[in-house]
Amino acid sequence: MASSAAPVLVLENEPERLRDWAGAMWHFRHLLAMLSRAQFHVRYKRASFGVAWAVGLPLIQAAVLTIVFEKLVRVSGGLHFGAYVLSGVLAWSYFSQTVAPGSTAIVEGSSLTDKVWFPRAILPATTVFANLPGLAVSMAFLVVALPVLGVPLGIRVLLLPLACALLIAFTLALVEVLAALHVYFRDVRFLVQAALVVWFYVTPIAYPKALLKGLATWIDVNPLTGIVALFHLATVGNEANWQRPLLFALAWTAVLVIAAVEAHRRRDRLFVDLL
């Protein structure tokens, strides 16, 4: 009686074909879902308020920034400033809470990859998807909070799903690139931590971009400027000159997606030797 042959993993010097790599990612989609659920439950395990912390912490940060910039520095520009800051902070919170752990996911998941083979790109993606429930709760809270903050709901709120989709796509592409680099350069962990501190202040989250005057041209190159501008456009609705930074955000996302796919397609099977 003939028995079915066991699957064999063949390691070659040639990079994996794009079609084969994409097929492997699709084949292991159930693993991505399982790891994402596990990471989500671990994150909020024994937390009395659970996923509400995804809103609570950014809400505290937004309140402090609103008081400092509107009441003390007197930066409002005629905006519904509370809504302006809250929408930006909620987007930033998802980004920062995902990039930091996602950028080291391959190295920190080495104990798992030593036991069974699967595309290493699954590990950074796990962090991105594990934080999606928190992002969803944050956006629901934002929609409810807008009338309370004096901003009437309008058709522009329909831009929120598009803004979230761009945020998720950019974050996913970035963590995939960073996680691959971290396998070779362990300094990436510390560079990311330093970059996030600076990145927050060079992104118009708590201040209108118009205040920067001549520097606004350079701020537009920051991909998060365009992404946050889309959140502002969906909430307060009077974001000026949002087209240029949005084009930069789309361009950066496209470049990072290509870089991430190529990095993992060409180097995935070599990562294990460096972990």
Q: What is the pLDDT of residues 135-193, one digit of tens each?
A: 888 888 888 888 888 888 888 889 999 999 999 999 999 999 999 999 988 889 999 99
Q: Are 120 and 113 in contact (CB under 8 A)?
A: yes
Q: Are 122 and 102 in contact (CB under 8 A)?
A: no
Encoded tokens for 29: 């989609």
Question: What does pTM read for this prediction?
Answer: 0.85
pLDDT digits (tens, 9 = 90+) for 185-229: 888 999 999 999 999 989 988 787 777 777 777 888 999 999 999
Distance CA 174, CA 171 (A): 5
Give the residue-averaged pLDDT of 97-120. Answer: 84
- Residue 71's pLDDT is 59
Q: Is the pLDDT of residue 134 over 80?
A: yes
- Domain hosting residue 80, numbered range: 27-36+49-274
Distance CA 185, CA 2 (A): 48
Please give the sequence-ordered ranges of beta strands (E in DSSP) within 114-191, or none if there are none: none
> For residue 11, is it within any domain?
no
Q: Are 69 and 75 in contact (CB under 8 A)?
A: yes
> For residue 44, is it within any domain?
no
Give the residue-averaged pLDDT of 115-124. Answer: 85
Side chain identity at residue 60, one-letter code: I
Encoded tokens for 23: 């097929």
Cβ atoms within 10 Å of 102's Cβ, excluding its own: 26
> For residue 253, is it within any domain?
yes
Q: Which residue has the tokens 């361009």?
A: 251
Average pLDDT score over the chain: 82
Please, which residues have CB within 8 angstroms of residue 11's CB and are 6 or more apart in sequence?
A: 269
Give the residue-averaged pLDDT of 51-67. Answer: 67
Q: Are 69 and 85 in contact (CB under 8 A)?
A: yes
> For residue 13, is it within any domain?
no
Per the model's pLDDT, the better-predicted residue between 103 and 72 turns out to be 103
- Residue 1's pLDDT is 47
> For residue 12, is it within any domain?
no
> For residue 227, is it within any domain?
yes
Q: Is the pLDDT of residue 130 over 80?
A: yes
- Residue 174's pLDDT is 97
> For residue 85, is it within any domain?
yes
Using pLDDT thresholds of 50, 70 and 90, give the confidence band for residue 275: low
In three-state secondary structure terms, 201 is helix
Per the model's pLDDT, the better-predicted residue between 30 and 7 turns out to be 30
Per the model's pLDDT, the better-predicted residue between 71 and 204 turns out to be 204
Q: How far is CA 146 from CA 47, 84, 150, 151, 229, in A?
A: 27, 10, 6, 5, 17
Q: Is the pLDDT of residue 12 over 90?
A: no
- Residue 95's pLDDT is 94
Q: Is the pLDDT of residue 72 over 70?
A: no
- Residue 191's pLDDT is 94
pLDDT digits (tens, 9 = 90+) for 223-259: 999 999 999 999 887 666 788 899 999 999 999 999 9
- Residue 68's pLDDT is 62
Using pLDDT thresholds of 50, 70 and 90, give the confidence band for residue 269: confident
End-to-end CA, the chain? 42
> For residue 43, is it within any domain?
no
Distance CA 129, CA 168 (A): 9
Q: Which residue has the tokens 């809470």?
A: 97
Count of domains forming the chain: 1
Cβ atoms within 10 Å of 69's Cβ, excluding its own: 20
Q: Are 90 and 138 in contact (CB under 8 A)?
A: yes
